[in-house]
Structures are given as structure tokens and as C-alpha cells.
Amino acid sequence: MMKLATDNLADVTERNSGKKTESKSVTSLLIRCLIFSFYLWQFAFVVNAAELKEIQQRGYLIVAVKDNLRPLSFRDAAGNLQGLEIDLAKRLAQEILGNSEAIKFVPVTNRDRLRVVLEGQVDLTIARVTATAARQRVVRFSIPYYMDGIALVTKEPNVQRLGDLTQQKIAILKGSSTIAKLRFILPKAQLVGVDSYQEGRSLLESNGAVAFAADVSVLTGWVQKYPEYRLLPTLLSAEPLAVVMPKGIQYDDLRRVVNEAIDRGKKQGWLPQLATSWGLPWDKVNK
């Protein structure tokens, strides 16, 4: 009887085990189907970006820009968009359509700068985007139109060069990649973290720090707004700003036109002239 009971128990266990295995297989299949459906749903709502011929047929260029980043792209007192990146976008419209005013600007936040290109909402993004290897996996970049970099701003008359900050307090945005660079270049300096540019300026105004470190493109706007401040002449890094474009061989013509225009702008001199007219430094780093 004991043997029979054991055999019966084994049979039941085997049957239950088979059911569990079958249940796991069904569950796994359902999960795979759900994942596949999710990807199909995503692609169903993604609009392909326009190719060069489509842009020309449409008659205007759509470009994502910032509207609060002086001197790259900002609104003037009348609400009009101004800045280096706005001027560059108009040059590209001239190259592509023969009309620098045939352009529609779409203001975007930092987190949406790549997404609007990926989803085909704009043709290009020109919004202080640094070309990186990670971003290159999802979008394509033009050749750099400007080399940004870390700079320091101060109003202290006794601070004229980088060496004058060796053991001074320097304000810096919390979590910024600038921290590592400053620690390497000025290991004895005292870095003071701040949450915003406004907090950084307040710290300098209260003598809590003698300088502020950030991107030169942003600090140039700071100096223009607060002329009592000045930039130190040394850049601590070189970071390429580039036009964001869609991936795919179908966009090769668009990328070629954009790259040729930027290259021609450097050779003919109008691109550095635009940069310097907006107060941005253009030195051997940008050549």
C-alpha cells in the first residue's frame, strides 16, 4: 500500500510539474507578445523625419532651438528669437531653400532636444547639444559649428588668470562634469556646490566664492547681462556643439548640405564672425 501511495504521489507530482512547465511556457509567450506589441505601438506613433526633397517641397525648415540661452538662442525685449544658433539656422534655410526666412522655430527644453528629431517633429535641432558617443547611437551630428568649453567668470580685480585661483573658493553646479576637471587642474581650490546659476551669482555677490565655473557659452551671456563680471582667458576643456539630425541613409543629402554649409562658414569666415558678434570667444580651438 505504501508503495502504491508513493507511486500515486509520484504520478500526481509529475502531472503537476508538467502543468507548471506548460504554464511557464504560456506565460513566457504572453510576455514576449506583450513586449512585441509594445514596440509595434511605439513605432506606430513615430513619424519619420522629412528628407531633403520633402523639406524643399514643403518650402520651409523646422528647427528646434532654445529660447532662454543668451547668446546662443534667446528672446529679445520684443520677443524675437536671437543668437548664434538662430543665425546659423537661418543660414541653413538659405542653403536648403534659398530663403533665410523660410524657417519655423520650435522652442524645446534640454530633455526634448533629441526626442523631437527622433519623432520627426522637427528637421534639425540646434540647441547647444554637445556631440557625444552615447548620443551618436540614436541621432547623427553635423561637424561642430562651435567648440564650447569650461570657463571661469569673476569680478575680482586680483584674479586675472587661472593660477590666481589655486587656493580660492570656486562655485560650481552640483553634479556637473566640470567638478572632475577642476579637481584635476586646480586640486587645491575649494569647490562650492550650487543648485543653479542664480545661486552661483548670489554666492559671488556675497563673497562666498571668487569665481564661477561653467560652460563658456552660458557664461558669455552672464557677462553680457552683468558687465561687472568678466571671463578668464583660459578654457579648461573643448566640447563640440553640433546640429542634431536623423539617422538613416535617406538623410545623407540633408546631412551633406548642413555639413558643407558649416564647413564653408568656417573657411569663408562668416561663422566665426557671427560667434564673435554675439560675444562668444573664437580662438584656435574653433579652427
* Distance (Å, whole) CA 249 – CA 245: 12
Full pLDDT tens readout for the chain, 287 residues: 323 233 333 343 444 445 444 454 555 556 555 544 443 434 334 458 899 999 999 999 999 999 999 999 999 999 999 999 999 999 999 999 999 999 999 999 999 999 999 999 999 999 999 999 999 999 999 999 999 999 999 999 999 999 999 999 999 999 888 899 999 999 999 999 999 989 999 999 999 999 999 999 999 999 999 999 999 988 888 899 999 999 999 999 999 999 999 999 999 999 999 999 999 988 756 76
Q: Is the peptide bond before 157 cis (omega within 30 degrees of 0)?
A: no
Q: Decide if 167 contacts 144 (C-beta within 8 A).
A: no
* Angle subtended at Cα 65 by Cα 240 and Cα 95, rounded to the nearest 5 degrees: 80
For residues 41 and 103, is the Cβ–Cβ distance under 8 A? no
- Cell digits of residue 194: 550650487
Q: Give the contacts of 64 (CB within 8 A, at least 6 positions apart).
A: 105, 106, 107, 108, 112, 113, 116, 117, 121, 122, 124, 125, 126, 127, 244
